[in-house]
Structure 1
Amino acid sequence: MTTLDLITKEDLENFKKEFFEELRNLKMDGADKISKKWLRSSDVRTLLGISPGTLQTLRINGTLRFSKVGNIFYYKNEDLTKVLEENLTKTS
């Protein structure tokens, strides 16, 4: 004879809460890592403190390379570092 396990609505609610909590933890762990290889536009704007228009200008004039998947722009972290280092100014 087989046993039948019933899943209640409460069981599903608990699973959903645990699942989303785990997703939040994963997202928070990744959000603090500057060393991610690819960054989205919002990450780049936050790191550089620039507006969406300024970021668009950097793309258009070729200052910052990008990759586009669907409607999302991605930027290599190493390219950001390179652009920043190339634009270092010397003070006397």
Structure 2
Amino acid sequence: MAFSILTKEDLQEFKIELLEAIEKLILGNVTEQKLWLRSSEVKELLTISSGTLQTLRNNGTISFNKIGGIIYYNYKDIEKLINRR
């Protein structure tokens, strides 16, 4: 049975390689943000209820487009609202 001795330098090198690999995985999975969001996505982002979202639509706080019965929100508008909070 062969034995290998690990040094602190070996572990440090492994740590650096591991962190670089994790960083590549994370950066590789980053996708561009969708331009249009559905109501469920907006409610999750803002942590609000359906009623509150309806109120924000009614009073003009959030602009939206309705296509085929589905309401869509522009991500940039939602982002502005988040930043105002």
SS class of match (1:68):
strand
Aligned to 2:50: 52
1:48-71 Cα distance to aligned partner (Å, 9 max, x none): 111110000000000000000121
- Greater Cα radius of gyration, structure 1 or 2: 2
Q: TM-score, normalised by structure 2?
A: 0.59
Residue correspondence of structure 1 range 20-59 to structure 2 within 5 A: 35-59=33-57
Q: What is the aligned residue count?
A: 56
Given that residues 35 and 74 in structure 2 are in contact (C-alpha distance below 8 angstroms), is that contact kept between their aligned partners in structure 1?
yes
Aligned to 2:4: none
Question: Residues 36 and 64 of structure 1: is their aligned pair in 2 closer, same or farther, counting only changes over 3 Å?
Answer: same
- CA–CA distance in structure 2, aligned partners of residues 43 and 34 of structure 1: 15
Question: Unaligned stretches of 5+ in structure 1?
Answer: 1-31, 88-92
Q: TM-score, normalised by structure 1?
A: 0.55
1:85 shift after superposition: 1.8
